[in-house]
């Protein structure tokens, strides 16, 4: 991510408009042009948001729910927001899942010995201490597993489903592939497998495993689940195709501890005319425990925060209250958003717009909007104010 793309993302959020295709601004939208242009100009003056994101991720590292890192980052952000002069700054308590990865390894045992990079899937149980050593059955799909269910008993099932990007927008058909990560362990266990492996759900690999959440079904035996790299999944598939015996040892110390306390970070600029009506700008603070959580979703969180900070700095007090909500526990549980919903049930109908950036911090091009026809019509007009940064 470049500083300029984060700046533009900040601008995009600070204009709090949404559009599929921008139209000429209406007189109403036009009346905001002066403020919008000031926000745009100010945001482009420096790399404040990029520097803040760098400081956040460099200082605290990754921020898995339940970790000390996440809570330390939240403490720091609350302090910074107060220094920024934001209003009603607080951490709203939420209990979150506390999954811990522990040490993990995968070793190919047959047809030759080789260490394979591996990442356990979030929420998985661990293996016994000596690991699970078993023959591998590679399948391309749930359908193939069904057809070969008789072969799966006592084996490690590997789902080698390619990430078949149908467009340059890689999330287009993410769901088709990600179902193997989420539901693979249940399907494999039903067929009698002792562990589940998946091909990492990603179009880009440098023999780099990629993790994410998986879930169990209370009616099916829990088995450990982990991701191999794209390259190694293809290799095991080729080996099986040649009729070679494929066997590996999977070791995982993963375990789930009791739920831990965390917080949604909330701060506002109280509206001047309708302070009880709320526009929410959001991003999530938690991240997986590998990497730094800069793209997912430190950048989205900082962009939302920076948008409101700039409004404050420029003395722009909007008609409605603008509220930054930096959620906890998006990645593995969604407890942050549900906690917010439960804590704010009384004012949910006074939330007029919610915006979030959680698809990586690239050069913004526009946004998706779910809402009434009239809301979409207004958003299209307002989006015209973003033409100067090509994000309309």
Catalytic residues: 330
The H or E element that residue 255 is part of is strand 255-269
Q: Which of 235, 250, 307, 385 contacts a copy of itself by CB under 8 A?
A: 235
| Least distance (Å) between residue 366 CB and a copy of itself | 27
The CA–CA distances, whole Å, from 227 to 106, 133, 140, 177, 216 equal: 10, 16, 15, 13, 16
The CA–CA distances, whole Å, from 38 to 122, 321, 386 equal: 43, 19, 12
**Residue 219 CB coordination number (10 Å):** 7
**Contact present, 361 and 9 (Cβ < 8 Å):** yes
225 near a copy of itself (CB under 8 A)? no
239 near a copy of itself (CB under 8 A)? yes
Residues in 56-115 that interact with a copy of itself by CB under 8 A: 57-59, 61, 111-112, 114
245 near a copy of itself (CB under 8 A)? no
DSSP string, 21-51: S--PPPHHHHTTHHHHHHHHHHHTT--HHHH
| Least distance (Å) between residue 126 CB and a copy of itself | 20
Q: Which stretch binds a copy of itself (CB under 8 A): 124-132, 183-191, 231-239, 255-263?
A: 231-239
The count of chain residues that interact with a copy of itself, using the rule CB under 8 A, is: 21
Residue 237, C-beta contacts closer than 8 angstroms, at least 6 positions apart: 138, 140, 158, 160
Q: Which of 3, 54, 275, 371 contacts a copy of itself by CB under 8 A?
A: 54
Q: Which of 14, 65, 124, 292 contacts a copy of itself by CB under 8 A?
A: 292
| Least distance (Å) between residue 217 CB and a copy of itself | 31
138 vs 385 by CB, closer to a copy of itself? 138
| Least distance (Å) between residue 69 CB and a copy of itself | 9
Q: Pick the closest to residue 282 from 16, 49, 71 (CA basis).
A: 16
| Least distance (Å) between residue 10 CB and a copy of itself | 19
The CA–CA distances, whole Å, from 91 to 65, 206, 354 equal: 15, 39, 19
| Least distance (Å) between residue 127 CB and a copy of itself | 22
Residues in 205-224 that interact with a copy of itself by CB under 8 A: 205-208
Give the SS3 label for residue 239. Answer: helix
**Contact present, 324 and 308 (Cβ < 8 Å):** yes
179 vs 208 by CB, closer to a copy of itself? 208
Structure tokens at 93: 């308590």
Which positions lie near a copy of itself, rule CB under 8 A? 54-55, 57-59, 61, 111-112, 114, 204-208, 231, 235, 238-239, 242, 291-292
């Amino acid at each position: 991510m470049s500083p300029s793309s984060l700046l533009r993302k900040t601008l995009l959020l600070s204009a709090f408009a949404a559009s599929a295709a921008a139209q000429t601004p209406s007189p109403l939208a036009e009346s905001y042009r002066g403020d919008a242009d000031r926000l745009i100009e100010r945001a482009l003056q420096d790399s404040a948001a990029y520097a803040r994101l760098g400081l956040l991720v460099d200082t605290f590292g990754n921020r898995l729910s339940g970790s000390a890192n996440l809570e330390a980052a939240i403490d720091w952000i609350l302090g910074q927001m107060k220094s920024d002069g934001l209003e009603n700054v607080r951490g709203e308590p939420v209990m979150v899942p506390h999954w811990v990865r522990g040490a993990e390894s995968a070793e190919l045992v047959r047809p030759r010995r080789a260490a394979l990079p591996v990442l356990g899937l979030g929420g998985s149980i661990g293996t016994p201490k000596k690991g699970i050593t078993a023959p591998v059955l590679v399948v391309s799909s749930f359908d193939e597993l069904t057809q070969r269910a008789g072969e799966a008993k006592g084996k490690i099932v590997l789902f080698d489903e390619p990430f078949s990007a149908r467009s340059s927008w890689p999330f287009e058909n993410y769901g088709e592939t990600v179902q193997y990560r989420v539901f693979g362990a249940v399907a494999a266990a039903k067929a009698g497998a002792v562990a589940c492996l998946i091909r990492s759900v990603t179009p880009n690999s440098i023999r780099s495993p990629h993790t994410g959440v998986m879930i169990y079904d209370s009616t099916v035996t829990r088995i450990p689940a982990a991701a191999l790299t794209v390259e190694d999944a293809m290799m095991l598939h080729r080996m099986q195709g040649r009729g070679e015996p494929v066997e590996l040892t999977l070791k995982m110390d993963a375990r789930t501890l009791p739920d831990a306390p965390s917080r949604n970070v909330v701060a506002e600029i109280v509206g001047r005319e309708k302070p009880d009506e709320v526009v929410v700008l959001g991003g999530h603070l938690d991240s997986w425990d590998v990497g730094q959580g800069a793209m997912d979703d430190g950048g989205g969180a900082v962009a939302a925060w920076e948008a409101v900070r700039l409004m404050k700095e420029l003395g722009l007090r909007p008609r409605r209250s603008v509220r930054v909500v930096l959620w906890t526990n998006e990645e593995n549980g969604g407890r942050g958003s549900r906690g917010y919903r439960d804590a704010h049930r009384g004012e949910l109908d006074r939330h007029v717009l919610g915006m979030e950036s959680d698809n990586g911090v690239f050069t913004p091009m526009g946004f998706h909007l779910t809402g009434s026809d009239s809301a979409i019509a207004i958003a299209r007009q307002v989006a015209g104010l973003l033409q100067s940064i090509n994000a309309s």
